[in-house]
């Protein structure tokens, strides 16, 4: 006979991570199947600065049955077509990392290989998403695969606090019980598993499975179970961030902006009701007061709140699932928000847990597989973030000199070596960042392969040039047919014009 099924799930901590887990669990297990309890304390609050996402968030919203237009209104959201990077390759340079594709694969060979043979115009000219972002335009992808707008891809910017509240309403509407309280004690059973938590008012909450969304400290996964942490700060030395919202000064742009600074980088995330701003930096190279002053001086509009300081160590738990505790969000690890992956890693953790949902036996094979999959997910994101730093040509400050010359993970070094020869990228099917993402950052920061794919070089050059010109023209017409981002926000379009 197998072990008993899970009957009680306790989520420790709210915020985006906690309420995302609660919403998915409630959707997966209809009322009465499993008792889901979420404990959060108004005394502790949430970090609430993860306001930019990547396209997989749309799949999660569909899974939860969320009406996107309603969510956009409720959270002050805007649409995100990618990230504009300023001063990363060198001071004065900028490039765009778009969602979606560059051009279209020709004769079964990646588009960028054909472009490398010609380089008659910037590769960004062949990206519908990039050109739409630069023009301040947006439309949802067309369902017609023959329509140019079918090549659109997007994510969302939203107010993280409002998004958590939106998910909370969804989850509680499907039977999740919310308890307000501060946890003061954790009891373990004879296996070392967490048996219950005690609140400051004396209440005890018992569970079979605990999900730790308690933030950087990891109340259950670390403070109780002593899981351990793998420190990545030798590759990603940023250890502080200061965040502040400011008033909007114009129509919101349909993209995030990341501007490299001497001691780190600054984000700008446009929402409908305000703009989110932050400075991620290394405390070895700038003080907290200096970083705060630099951020405030660079705001577009008037600050709307006092700056908030965050301290962190980039890395991950040595195990994401330990005993009967699964860590999500900041309790699981932290990879700085350069490519807006924080919320995605929560999503991946929740979805992976659903695919490996345990019984009370908590068998070793299941937990080991979860840890393997999430380790791979975190490390692939880590390597992509390191790429941005390492591929710089900046030599104007100690930080940039360090990251440009540092040793990098072998997994990333092999990928860069392969690209350097013939512009090739060999990606596993499960990887989050696909070929266009790697191409955008590599080319955007000045990496140029020594040669091109020999198969492409042998193809008919006149035919290739004709195909490239046709693609660029279609992109131009497609962008011209889109409404502005502001107009789409005001009146979400359901049908696209013909092009």
Query: What residues are labeled active site?
Result: 80
* 234-255 core/surface letters (b: 16 or more CB in 10 A; e: else): ebbbbbbbbbbbbebeeebbbb
Contact 451, 421 (CB under 8 A): yes
Which tokens hold the place of 403? Answer: 């990251």
Contact 493, 140 (CB under 8 A): yes
How far apart are the C-alpha atoms of 156 and 432, rounded to whole Å? 17
* 10-26 core/surface letters (b: 16 or more CB in 10 A; e: else): bbbbbbbbbbbbbbbbb
How far apart are the C-alpha atoms of 207 and 395, rounded to whole Å? 53
CA distances from 273 to 75, 100, 242 (A): 9, 27, 20
For residue 220, the SS3 value is helix
How far apart are the C-alpha atoms of 225 and 428, rounded to whole Å? 33
Contact 12, 39 (CB under 8 A): yes
For residue 311, the SS3 value is strand
What residues form DSSP beta bridges with 95? 85
Which tokens hold the place of 127? Answer: 């990206």
The neighbour count for residue 123, using CB atoms within 10 Å, is: 20
How far apart are the C-alpha atoms of 157 and 486, rounded to whole Å? 14
How far apart are the C-alpha atoms of 167 and 18, rounded to whole Å? 9
Which tokens hold the place of 237? Answer: 């030395």
Contact 462, 111 (CB under 8 A): no
Q: How many residues in total does the chain contain?
A: 499
Alpha carbon 85 to chain centroid, angstroms: 16
For residue 406, the SS3 value is coil
Contact 145, 137 (CB under 8 A): no
DSSP 179: E
How far apart are the C-alpha atoms of 490 and 76, rounded to whole Å? 12
CA distances from 49 to 164, 245, 309, 387, 482 (A): 12, 10, 11, 23, 30
Residue linked to tokens 């005890």: 204
Q: Furthest-apart CA pair in the chain: how many Å? A: 78
Contact 313, 1 (CB under 8 A): no
């Amino acid at each position: 006979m197998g072990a008993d099924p899970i009957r009680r799930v306790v989520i420790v901590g709210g915020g985006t991570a906690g309420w995302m887990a609660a919403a998915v669990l409630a959707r997966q297990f209809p009322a009465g199947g499993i008792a889901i309890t979420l404990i959060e304390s108004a005394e502790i609050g949430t970090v609430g600065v993860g306001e930019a996402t990547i396209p997989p968030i749309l799949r999660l919203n569909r899974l939860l049955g969320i009406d996107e237009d309603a969510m956009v209104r409720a959270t002050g959201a805007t649409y995100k077509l990618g990230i504009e990077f300023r001063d990363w390759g060198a001071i004065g340079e900028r490039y765009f990392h778009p969602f979606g594709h560059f051009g279209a694969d020709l004769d079964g060979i990646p588009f960028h290989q054909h472009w490398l043979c010609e380089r008659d115009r910037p590769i960004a000219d062949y990206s519908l998403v990039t050109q739409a972002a630069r023009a301040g335009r947006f439309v949802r992808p067309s369902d017609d695969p023959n329509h140019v707008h079918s090549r659109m891809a997007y994510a969302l910017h939203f107010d993280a606090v409002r998004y958590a509240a939106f998910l909370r309403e969804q989850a509680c509407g499907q039977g999740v019980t919310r308890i307000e309280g501060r946890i003061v004690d954790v009891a373990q059973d004879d296996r070392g598993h967490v048996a219950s938590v005690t609140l400051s008012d004396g209440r005890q909450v018992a569970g079979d499975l605990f999900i730790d969304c308690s933030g950087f400290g990891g109340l259950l996964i670390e403070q109780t179970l002593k899981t351990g942490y793998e420190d990545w700060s030798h590759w990603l030395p940023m250890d502080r961030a200061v965040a502040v919202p400011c008033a909007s000064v114009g129509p919101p742009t349909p993209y995030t902006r990341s501007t490299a600074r001497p001691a780190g980088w600054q984000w700008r995330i446009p929402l409908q009701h305000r703009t989110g701003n932050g400075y991620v930096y290394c405390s070895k190279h700038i003080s907290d007061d200096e970083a705060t002053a630099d951020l405030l001086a660079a705001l577009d509009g008037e600050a709307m709140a006092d700056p908030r300081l965050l301290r962190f160590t980039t890395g991950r738990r040595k195990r994401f699932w330990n005993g009967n505790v699964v860590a999500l969000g900041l309790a699981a690890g932290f990879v700085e928000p350069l490519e807006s992956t924080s919320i995605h890693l929560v999503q991946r953790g929740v979805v992976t847990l659903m695919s490996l949902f345990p019984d009370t036996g908590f068998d070793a094979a299941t937990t080991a597989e979860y840890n393997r999959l999430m380790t791979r997910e975190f490390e692939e994101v880590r390597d992509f973030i390191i790429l941005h730093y390492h591929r710089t040509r900046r030599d104007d400050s100690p930080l940039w000199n360090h990251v440009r010359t540092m040793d990098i993970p072998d997994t990333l070094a092999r990928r860069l070596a392969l690209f350097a020869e013939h512009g090739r990228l060999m990606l596993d099917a499960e990887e989050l960042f696909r070929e266009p993402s790697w191409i955008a950052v590599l080319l955007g920061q000045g990496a140029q392969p020594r040669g091109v794919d020999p198969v492409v070089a042998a193809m008919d050059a006149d035919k290739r040039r004709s195909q490239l010109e046709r693609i660029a023209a279609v992109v131009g017409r497609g962008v011209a047919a889109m409404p502005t981002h502001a107009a789409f926000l005001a009146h979400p379009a359901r049908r696209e014009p013909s092009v």
